[in-house]
Structure 1
Amino acid sequence: MTYTTEELMVVAAAREIQDHEVVFVGMRLPMLAFAVAKKLHAPNAVGFYECGIVRDFPSETLLYTMGDTPNVIGAQWCTTTNHLMYLMQQGHVNCGFIGGAEIDKYGNVNTSYIGDHQDPVIKLPGSGGAADIASLSQRLLVIMNHEKRRFKEKVDYITSPGYGDGGNWREEEGLPRGGIGALITTLGVMKPNPSRNELELLSIHPGVTLDQVKENTGWNLLVSEQLQETVAPSKEELEVIRSIDPEGFWTGKKKEE
């Protein structure tokens, strides 16, 4: 079966979710990723949604926002964001999803300012709950478009901390846990190198070349010696995505087989 890049990203993100995990589900592609994981390999995962909804099974209907009525109906708990943040502070969230405007080689994410924060070229939406998710989840999953202007040697502003300047930065700054677990992009998948906490390219998507990834990365990219091709979505994974998003609202127009 053919598939879009967005569908591949959903599947790559879903594979990062493990059974019995509590997942802080983000908007757009992460909502589909949680559904794929829950239905196929993580039946006991629980989803936290930033608006205060807790679900142990994903909505069968396409969600345009996490607060849509189908996400409320059948939820296990409809509470406040504060309640979910309290649980996150206690370490009960295994992984959290965010996106960003910029990211650097240590997984620091910017959603606040482009340029000097005192006189920015562009003022972005800011943190929302992203800084909390990055600081307090046991690990962070990031989904982004892979473009050189977004993948910078050093982000203009750290909204959501990754590994700071590398090494033991998080421990030195008093962050109790977390750090980026995986970065899923339109070109490949990166994870932090265990010895230096710098992002390392582990896989490139089918049809993408290593040169393309390097050309669209604003630093000297660390590449795994075991670099692989991202495993294509299975028929079952695509069926879950397309049953929820049949028109490709979040995942782009599907190609014919």
Structure 2
Amino acid sequence: MPKGIPNPAAMYGIYLRSWGYEVSIVRNGKRYFQQFGRASYGGDAQALRQAQEWRDGVVRSVPPVPRRTRAEKLRVNNTTGVSGVFCQVAPGGKVRAWVAKTYIGQDEILRTDFPVNTVGESAQALAIEERARQLERMDGLAKLHPAEESIRTSPPSAPAGLLAPKRSKSEIRRSTNSSGVSGVHFKAPNPGHPGYWLAITYTAGRGSVSKAFSIKEHGPEKAKQLAIEERQRQLEEKLAFLQQDSSVAARTPPLSIPFLLDQPSQASSLQHGMTAGGTRPPQ
């Protein structure tokens, strides 16, 4: 937006990038920053919605400073040691008056001058006292953007069920992907090898699950299709695991002792292109 014109409320603190959206909000000298890529959330609409929800969470949990606190902060060009108090100097360098000035709101600026030739050496002290009285009329929070108040007082705009979870790196289809499906890759150990299609899925706390389909055994098209179907099965299994894990965590007492599985699951044995029997996939 042009300088001096705030962004629309929907885009407050949100910046469009070639890969998605970036949120950047400063509170009390601290920057709150997060990125939301289209590839990570399955498209532009979800990436923007995630960015807006994250931005709204920051606005609600970290309000701006009170207006008075900000008004009392000394500026770098302040030479008196008191914000809002400055002196007027005559051409010869002699202090002519001390001034207390406070911006209360639009069309309301408080100002009182204390000429030295009238009140004498107490002019500066009187200006400081007047500034304190002026600040007592200042209330509310600092206004950073017109959308701030409405965001802070409104409930979350998107129910949790409408927000797509962030995809893991294995679920994002890369530009080098040759299958058109994330997590499905063609592998060939050496130039003379017919190769195989591999379906692989990573789950945090569980590791990678993979299964290969040999082109020599199934043919190129069938092997690829089997890998795509296997990838879909792995994703469904991952989703079920994450849902079960979150459900168990919600029901687990805070001081419970975690248990260990006696036997590794079949999924954990299918790592690095190995089958359940511990051998390489057929070639």
TM-score (norm 2): 0.16
Instruction: Determine which structure has more spread, i.e. the larger CA radius of gyration.
Output: 2
TM-score (norm 1): 0.18
Q: Which has a greater percent of helix?
A: 2
Larger RCO, structures 1/2 (Cα 8 Å, 6+ apart): 1
